[in-house]
């Protein structure tokens, strides 16, 4: 009896060890597949966001008014357009990801062309905002001199608006089939060119705003040309079959999914935009906007990591749902969220420690640097929350829940977050810190809601619900 008991205990221990090794192996295998999409995605987003940071650094040394104007254009207007176009392009991630998982390769090129049509029409509708920027900003209560400078910068930003169409759609198309290494290569090349041209045109030849913005437009279009060549010249032969009139047929399903995707994502990206607009109406607005824009740019750098994981989890979830594997989809969610959170926690500690010292990268103004140091604890908390929330949004994109998450975003951000921030900022006189605290509270509630939705979802049913998205 005693020998049998020992044998059973030994067998049980061996089984537990085997299960543990199996879990480790599963995590390792999933991590490898995830990083194939996430690593190039993070690098390319880092590089693309770096274009903004490089331009801001050069413009910030031209003058405070120019920096404030640039901050308004890129944290309000360009982010507004970026939110709409990136959100609408994320519908392509749902469609191409699930089509690739279901091995409907021929439809992916058609979806890409449909998305080009939808996004081009959308960008054309947004064009007046870039033409009439100055009067719009003055109508919203911004300082007149800053609004005039913003108008000049926005005119130079029009080529960037149309660059977003090609950039976002090609990225979604390529990452859905795990071919986004080329995106990272082109993005790295682009940022080197931008750094050189910014120095040459802004510092050497002293073209100032014109030089900085010309360099930035070229830096956005160079990778686009490379991606188009890669897609159309044989490197995606299974998924790109050439231009087709099918792109103009049955556009409405793509429009609907694009609209719900756009609403979901742009509600998130506009959230920080409102923070900048509310700050513009406070005392000492120029210093406040400069400090906040620096914090938001640092926050945006970290957000690029989360957006890389968002892309990875949306691809993994869409691919696995397309294959009909609900268990693999759930497992990929857990691995990606935990990986992103671990990185976010390390960065949370890093930015708590360095505080205002980071501000001198962007400005030589001591008042602005001190204001950045004062906002650093809130910046660190934002970074921690952003390590989870965008990844869960990626789950929604992969599963096709965009319309549900749009309602969650409206409730958490605009019914809870902004009103709480306005009360703390104006009634309790906490100024920009109060507004940011309120908006962080909204983000926290939204993250909890997404965790609950993801946890409560019946993923076996989700496999069948995803089938109608793969339009034949």
Helix, strand or coil for residue 388?
Answer: coil
Burial (CB count <10 Å: 0-12, 13-18, 19+), residue 135: exposed
Give yes or no for a contact between 223 and 186, defined as CB atoms under 8 angstroms apart: yes
* Residue whose token pair is 């001198």: 360
Q: 304: part of which helix (H) or strand (E)?
A: helix 285-323
- The span from the CA of 366 to the CA of 352, in Å, is 19
- The arithmetic mean of pLDDT across residues 197-211, rounded, is 90
Residue 174 lies in a domain: yes
pLDDT at 283: 59
Q: What's the pLDDT score for residue 222?
A: 92
Confidence of residue 327 (pLDDT cuts 50, 70, 90): confident
Decide if 221 is inside a domain: yes
Q: Exposure string (b/e) for 406-430, b if CB count within 10 Å is 16 or more?
A: bebbeebbeebbbebbbebbeeeeb
Q: Is residue 292 part of a domain?
A: yes
Within a domain: 104: yes
Which residues form the domain of 430? Answer: 37-469
Domains held by the chain: number:
1
Average pLDDT, the chain: 83
Q: Mean of the pLDDT values across residues 299-313?
A: 85
Q: Is the pLDDT of residue 15 over 60?
A: no
pLDDT of residue 12: 43
Closest CA to 264 of 393, 94, 76: 393
- Report the share of the chain in percent with pLDDT over 90: 28
Task: Give per-residue pLDDT as tens, 373-423.
Answer: 888 888 889 889 989 988 998 898 888 888 888 888 888 888 998 899 888
Q: How would residue 276 be classed by pLDDT, with cut points 50, 70 and 90?
A: low
Q: Is residue 364 helix, strand or coil?
A: coil
Q: Is residue 108 part of a domain?
A: yes
* 274 falls within a domain: yes
Residue 456 burial by CB count (10 A; 0-12/13-18/19+): exposed, middle or buried? exposed
**Within-domain flag for 283:** yes
Alpha carbons 435 and 179: distance in angstroms, whole number: 41
Distance separating alpha carbons of residues 103 and 417, to the nearest angstrom: 42
Q: pTM, whole model, 2 decimals?
A: 0.79
- Dmax over Cα atoms in the chain, in whole Å? 91
> Taking 90 as the threshold, does the pLDDT of residue 291 lie above it?
no
Report the alpha-carbon distance of residue 354 to residue 422 in Å, rounded. Answer: 28
For 26-44, the pLDDT digits (tens) are: 888 889 889 988 888 888 8
For 58-85, the DSSP string reads HHHTT-HHHHHHHHHIIIIIHHHHHHHH
Band of residue 104 on the pLDDT scale cut at 50, 70, 90: confident
Does the residue 96 lie in any domain? yes
């Amino acid at each position: 009896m005693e020998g049998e008991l020992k044998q059973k205990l030994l067998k049980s221990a061996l089984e537990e060890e085997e299960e543990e090794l199996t879990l480790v192996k599963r995590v390792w295998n999933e991590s490898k597949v995830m990083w194939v999409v996430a690593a190039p995605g993070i690098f390319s987003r880092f590089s693309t966001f770096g274009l903004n940071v490089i331009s801001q650094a050069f413009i910030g040394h031209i003058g405070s008014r120019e920096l404030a104007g640039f901050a308004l254009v890129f944290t309000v207007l360009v982010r507004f357009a970026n939110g709409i176009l990136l959100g609408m392009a994320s519908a392509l991630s749902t469609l191409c990801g699930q089509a690739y998982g279901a091995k409907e390769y021929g439809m992916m090129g058609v979806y890409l062309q449909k998305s080009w049509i939808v996004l081009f029409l959308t960008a054309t509708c947004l064009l007046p905002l870039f033409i009439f920027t100055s009067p719009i900003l003055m109508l919203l209560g911004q300082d007149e001199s800053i609004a005039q400078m913003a108008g000049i910068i926005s005119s130079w930003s029009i080529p960037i608006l149309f660059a977003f169409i090609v950039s976002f759609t090609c990225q979604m198309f390529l990452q859905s089939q795990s071919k986004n290494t080329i995106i990272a290569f082109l993005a790295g090349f682009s940022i080197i060119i931008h750094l050189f041209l910014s120095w040459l045109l802004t510092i050497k030849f002293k073209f100032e705003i014109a030089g900085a913005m010309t360099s930035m437009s070229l830096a956005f279009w160079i990778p686009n040309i490379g991606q188009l060549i890669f897609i159309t010249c044989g490197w995606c032969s299974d998924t790109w079959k050439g231009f087709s009139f099918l792109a103009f047929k049955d556009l409405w399903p793509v429009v609907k999914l694009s609209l719900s995707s756009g609403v979901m994502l742009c509600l998130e990206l506009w959230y920080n935009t409102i923070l900048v607009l509310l700050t513009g109406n406070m005392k000492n607005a120029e210093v406040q906007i400069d400090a906040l824009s620096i914090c938001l740019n640092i926050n945006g750098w970290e957000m690029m990591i989360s957006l890389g994981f968002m892309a990875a989890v949306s691809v993994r979830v869409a691919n696995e749902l397309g294959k009909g594997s609900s268990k693999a989809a759930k497992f990929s969610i857990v691995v990606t969220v935990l990986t992103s959170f671990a990185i976010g926690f390390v960065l949370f500690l890093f930015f708590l420690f360095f505080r205002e010292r980071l501000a001198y990268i962007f400005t030589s103004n001591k008042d602005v640097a001190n204001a950045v140091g004062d906002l650093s604890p809130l910046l660190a908390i934002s970074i921690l929350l952003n390590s989870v929330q965008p990844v869960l949004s990626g789950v929604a994109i992969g599963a096709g829940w965009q319309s549900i998450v749009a309602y969650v975003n409206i409730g958490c951000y605009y019914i809870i977050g902004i009103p709480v921030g306005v009360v703390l900022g104006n009634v309790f006189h906490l100024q920009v810190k109060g507004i940011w605290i309120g908006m962080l509270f909204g983000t926290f509630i939204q993250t909890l809601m997404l965790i609950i939705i993801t946890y409560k979802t019946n993923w076996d049913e989700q496999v069948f619900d995803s089938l109608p998205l793969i339009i034949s």
